[in-house]
Amino acid sequence: MNLVEKFSTKEKKEIKKSYGEWDLKKNSDWADKQIKSELSQHYTPYILKQLNKYSFAKKNSERLWLIIKLKEFEIHTSDYVEDRIENDKIYSWKTIKKWIFYKEIDQRS
């Protein structure tokens, strides 16, 4: 189950501040190459599976930010953590509507 449906305002601000230049048209050639390079270097079965959950990440800045976060997820995960996140054993349905990417990051810390 994917509970994250979009980036929060806070996440969008962080993405723009950190990687906003990756979305500029004048930078599209090198940004596209770098994204492909990042993906080819860091595609693990875990990251491939996780990337499918975040199909709303369309911009280069969003994809790069997401790849970096997913690498962190992979470091800070276990079967137990994945099971609890995937099977809603941590959150009630009331909190799912307010779910943001950072809540999943917090669970892995």
> Does residue 44 contact residue 74 with C-beta atoms inside 8 Å?
yes
Q: What global pTM score does this model have?
A: 0.67
Q: What dihedral do alpha carbons 42, 46, 48, 50 form, nearest 10°?
A: -120
| pLDDT for position 100 | 54
| Cα angle: 15, vertex 44, 35; to 5 degrees | 40
pLDDT by residue for the chain (109 residues), tens only, comes to 455 778 888 889 999 999 999 999 998 888 888 888 877 776 788 887 778 888 888 898 998 888 888 888 788 777 877 776 666 555 444 444 445 566 666 666 5
